RNA sequence: UGGCCCGUAGUUCAAUUGGCAGAACGCCUGGUUCUGAUUCAGGAGGUUGGAGGUUCGAGUCCUCCCGGGCCAGCCA
């Protein structure tokens, strides 16, 4: 396991574990597990459970198992088994054991027989529909299956023949015999085994009956010696069944080898984040309907997507650590995650200059053939990152948005007659604005002050407010930059009004490609996954599509931008006024 | 309507288990700055869902009410 992201923030799970240790309930190591079903890719929601389970074990100097909950072969695939491990490694966690629920199929089967022998389970011949109909509902008790009291020997025989493949899918199930009137519907004789003639990615065609979650999960925990099984709140109502299964076996002294205690399940609320969806089904829909380019689309909240987007794994881990753990519903502001992403990147990543929307600048008093290497600091937050040389010449590119022909008072950038600093280079003053026939600005003419080399203040002590990033036109590399914005427009995209679906909340402008980007030559040999801050524009990550001939960068996040906020303000005020007026005119006091 | 769970700044969580309701993010103001970034200083923001009760003292204990969530897969 890697280093702690931040000091741990205690929560009720720690309290409970401390109590279990204090009471002697648990002796020895604390062992947790992360039990994904290999039926899809991991997403941000899963990372909360990963951080909790690995984090707690780490805190107690214990162990964590990665266990594939592979009990439903019709949905699970080897591809996901591999991807899940890859993603967890990327997050920075290392499991002490890799386990598979399918490794326990034999044991689970044997235990099921024990249950039948003791009269705690029976084979039911009802159809799916009959079982559903007889389960009752929230207010009415269920009705017993006609097979509920069939002789133990008969169930034993039938169960063996289910396993032997004598019956078609859906013809029979093994059910626990608990209580058809239990107010908790989970306890109304839950199905333990179903017949599935399907090929399992690991056990192949060995089995044609497969255990249900409720029968497999708790016992898998128990077999592995998991002390605390932490899962999301949706399993809370399953806890009585979880305990019931283990207790029935414990009564028969059927403890797994070396195990002396019963695993304790504890539940926490899953974490929701504004504008993000964490439903495997809906994520799949985005992929299949081509709303995104794939599971690793940088806009996807999958680990693969976030990795490609450039999110640091540590930011995700710190996010959950700082968010905390509780049992109440929550919707965490994306800004919280973003601030951690920026904080990690600001500290660790080198700066480069890139012009997203180039505007040509000619320094008219700069010698035509001259090239100077300007020494630029790589990361002001990290001296060990050193410096690099960036070529400067007579023809440059600056950001189009850094020039305004008729700038407002507080615009610190370039305008006719205005002077700015080119970062680590020279101070320049705009002398001429060149336009095309349509009146579009195509080029700026500037003069530079040789006394400001390196960007330093000239001897006369005059000041400039603005510092711009730039690249030398002759030395610039062409690049493509992909700008990403939230995939969804609404805070809670999964919440939709009547007659609408979550896809209606899609942001039509979540991805934009800038194809005419000019970057400094130091970016020539960047590799996929490299991260940078492009000065004044944001954090970027070299995309997997990037090649030496065609550089491609993804925007991970923007820098905080108070100037943009200032610009927006007048509009907001106008809107507020408008709203007020509308409210007034809509007021009941005013008659039409 | 049955059962279970949950209500503390805008958001997410704390509150030494009955002792002055705090932090982070967000927001606002100002300082510094060769990134309008970073950073630093400060500020606003709370009837702890509500009403009773116990107590010298209640976010914490008790009662009632209100609000929200989950459960009727041979998914996990």
Mean pLDDT value of segment A573-588: 36
Q: How far: A4 CA to B46 C1' (Å)? A: 33
pLDDT reported for residue A2: 38
Name the residue among A103, A234, A117 with its Cα closest to residue A174: A117
A191 backbone dihedrals φ, ψ, rounded to 5°: -75, 130
In chain A, the percentage of residues whose pLDDT exceeds 70 is: 95
| Banded model confidence at residue A496, pLDDT cuts 50, 70, 90 | confident
**Which nucleotide lies closest to A336 by the C1' atom and the CA atom?**
B25
Q: Which residues contact A123 (CB under 8 A, 6 or more apart)?
A: A116, A147, A150, A154, A155, A158, A159, A162, A172, A173, A174, A175
pLDDT reported for residue A188: 98
User: Which of A393-421 are b and which e, b meaning 16 or more Cβ less than 10 Å from the residue's Cβ?
Assistant: bbbbbbbeebbeeeeeeebebbbeebbbb
DSSP code at position A204: B
Residue A216, token pair as written in the block: 């497999």
- Rounded-to-10 torsion of CA A489, A492, A496, A501: 60
Provide long-range contacts, Cβ within 8 A and 24+ apart, for A140-147: A141/A180, A141/A181, A142/A180, A142/A181, A142/A188, A142/A189, A143/A180, A144/A180, A145/A175, A145/A189, A147/A122, A147/A123
pLDDT reported for residue A576: 39
Chain B: positions less than 7 Å from a protein CB are: 1-8, 10-15, 17, 24-28, 34-39, 68-76
CA distance A70 to A201: 9
Contact A102, A202 (CB under 8 A): yes
Q: How far: A236 CA to B5 C1' (Å)? A: 8
pLDDT tens, residue by residue, A198-232: 999 999 999 999 999 999 999 999 999 999 999 99
Name the residue among A217, A166, A171, A219 with its Cα closest to residue A194: A171
pLDDT reported for residue A10: 86
**Which nucleotide lies closest to A184 by the C1' atom and the CA atom?**
B3
Strands (E), A198-345: 209-211, 228-232, 264-268
Asked if pLDDT for residue A573 goes beyond 90, the answer is: no
Name the residue among A21, A37, A89, A100 with its Cα closest to residue A65: A100
Q: How far: A212 CA to B54 C1' (Å)? A: 49
Closest residue to B35 measured CA to C1′: A536
| Residue A304 annotated to the active site | no
CA distances A62 to A56, A226, A322, A495, Å, are 8, 10, 22, 39
- Report all structural domains of chain A as residue ranges with CATH numbers, in order of start: 12-268 (3.40.50.620), 280-350+480-567 (2.40.240.10), 354-469 (2.40.240.10)
Mean pLDDT value of segment A47-56: 97
CA within 13 Å, CB half, A160: 8
Name the residue among A533, A529, A582, A536 with its Cα closest to residue A90: A529
Asked if pLDDT for residue A7 goes beyond 90, the answer is: no
Predicted TM-score (pTM) of the model is: 0.94
pLDDT reported for residue A569: 64
Contact A506, A485 (CB under 8 A): no
Q: ∠ CA(A160), CA(A165), CA(A166), 5° rounding?
A: 85
CA distance A345 to A312: 7
pLDDT tens, residue by residue, A19-44: 999 999 998 899 999 999 999 999 99
Mean pLDDT value of segment A97-115: 98
Asked if pLDDT for residue A347 goes beyond 90, the answer is: yes
Note the ipTM here.
0.97
Residue A146, token pair as written in the block: 């006609």
Q: How far: A326 CA to B52 C1' (Å)? A: 29
Residue A66, token pair as written in the block: 């990665």
| Banded model confidence at residue A4, pLDDT cuts 50, 70, 90 | very low
pLDDT reported for residue A6: 54
| Banded model confidence at residue A581, pLDDT cuts 50, 70, 90 | very low
Contact A307, A90 (CB under 8 A): yes
pLDDT tens, residue by residue, A275-319: 999 999 999 999 999 999 999 999 999 999 999 999 999 999 999
Mean pLDDT value of segment A46-50: 98
pLDDT tens, residue by residue, A357-393: 999 999 999 999 999 999 999 999 999 999 999 999 9
Asked if pLDDT for residue A197 goes beyond 60, the answer is: yes
Task: Single out the catalytic residue among A150, A202, A270, A282.
Answer: A270
CA distance A110 to A132: 27
CA distance A183 to A175: 18
Q: ∠ CA(A546), CA(A547), CA(A551), 5° rounding?
A: 55
CA distance A466 to A456: 13
| Residue A280 annotated to the active site | yes
| Residue A400 annotated to the active site | no
Residue A115, token pair as written in the block: 């249950």
What is the pLDDT of chain A when averaged over all its residues? 94
pLDDT reported for residue A570: 55
**Which nucleotide lies closest to A425 by the C1' atom and the CA atom?**
B34
Mean pLDDT value of segment A438-443: 97
Asked if pLDDT for residue A579 goes beyond 50, the answer is: no
Asked if pLDDT for residue A45 goes beyond 50, the answer is: yes
Asked if pLDDT for residue A174 goes beyond 50, the answer is: yes
Asked if pLDDT for residue A582 goes beyond 60, the answer is: no
pLDDT reported for residue A592: 23
Task: Single out the catalytic residue among A135, A150, A280, A400.
Answer: A280
Mean pLDDT value of segment A497-507: 91
pLDDT reported for residue A566: 86
């Amino acid at each position: 396991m890697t280093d702690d992201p931040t000091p741990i923030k205690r929560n009720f799970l720690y309290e409970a574990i401390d109590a279990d240790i204090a009471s002697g309930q648990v002796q020895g190591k604390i062992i947790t597990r992360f039990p994904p079903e290999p039926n899809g890719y991991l997403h941000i929601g899963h990372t909360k459970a990963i951080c909790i389970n690995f984090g707690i074990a780490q805190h107690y100097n214990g162990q964590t198992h990665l266990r594939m909950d592979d009990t439903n072969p019709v949905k699970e695939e080897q591809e996901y088994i591999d991807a899940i491990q890859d993603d967890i490694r990327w997050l920075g966690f290392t499991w002490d054991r890799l386990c598979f629920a399918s490794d326990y199929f034999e044991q689970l089967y044997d235990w099921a027989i024990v249950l039948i022998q003791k009269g705690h389970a029976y084979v039911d011949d009802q159809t799916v529909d009959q079982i559903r109909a007889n389960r009752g509902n929230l207010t009415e008790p269920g009705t017993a299956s006609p097979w509920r009291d069939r002789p133990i020997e008969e169930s034993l025989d039938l169960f063996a023949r289910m396993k032997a493949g004598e019956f078609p899918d859906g013809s029979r199930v093994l059910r626990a015999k608990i209580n058809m009137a239990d107010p908790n519907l989970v306890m109304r004789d839950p199905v333990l085994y179903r017949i599935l003639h399907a090929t399992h990615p690991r056990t192949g065609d060995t089995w044609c009956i497969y255990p249900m979650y409720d029968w497999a999960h708790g016992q898998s925990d128990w077999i592995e010696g998991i002390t605390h099984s932490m899962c999301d709140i949706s399993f809370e109502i399953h806890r009585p069944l979880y305990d019931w299964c283990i207790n029935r076996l414990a009564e028969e002294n059927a403890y797994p080898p070396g195990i002396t205690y019963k695993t304790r399940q504890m539940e926490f609320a899953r974490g929701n984040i504004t504008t993000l969806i964490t439903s495997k089904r809906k994520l799949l829909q985005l992929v299949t309907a081509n709303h995104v380019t794939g599971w690793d689309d940088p806009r996807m909240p999958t680990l693969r997507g976030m990795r490609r987007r450039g999110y640091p794994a540590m930011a995700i881990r710190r996010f959950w650590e700082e968010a905390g753990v509780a049992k109440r519903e929550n919707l965490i502001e994306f800004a919280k995650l973003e601030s951690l992403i920026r904080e990690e990147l600001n500290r660790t990543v080198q700066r480069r200059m890139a012009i997203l929307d180039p505007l040509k600048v000619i320094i008219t008093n700069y010698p035509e053939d001259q090239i100077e290497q300007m020494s630029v600091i790589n990361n002001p937050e990290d001296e060990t990152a050193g410096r690099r040389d960036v070529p400067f010449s007579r023809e440059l590119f600056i950001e189009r948005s850094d020039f305004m022909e008729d700038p407002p008072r507080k615009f610190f950038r370039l305008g006719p007659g205005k002077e700015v600093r080119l970062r680590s280079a020279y101070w320049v003053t705009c002398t001429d604005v060149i336009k095309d026939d349509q009146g579009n600005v195509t080029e700026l003419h500037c003069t530079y002050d040789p006394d400001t080399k390196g960007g330093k203040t000239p001897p006369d002590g005059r000041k400039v407010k603005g510092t711009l990033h730039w690249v030398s036109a002759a030395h610039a590399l062409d690049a493509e930059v992909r700008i990403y914005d939230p995939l969804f427009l609404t805070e809670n995209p999964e919440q939709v009004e009547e007659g609408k679906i979550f896809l209606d909340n899609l942001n039509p402008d979540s991805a934009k490609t800038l194809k005419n980007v000019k970057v400094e030559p130091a970016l020539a040999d960047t590799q996929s996954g490299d991260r940078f801050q492009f000065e004044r524009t944001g954090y970027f990550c070299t995309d997997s599509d990037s090649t030496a001939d065609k550089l491609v960068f993804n925007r991970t996040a923007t820098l905080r931008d108070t100037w943009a906020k200032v610009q927006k303000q007048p509009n907001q005020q106008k809107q507020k006024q408008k709203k007020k007026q509308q409210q007034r005119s809509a007021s009941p006091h005013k008659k039409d």
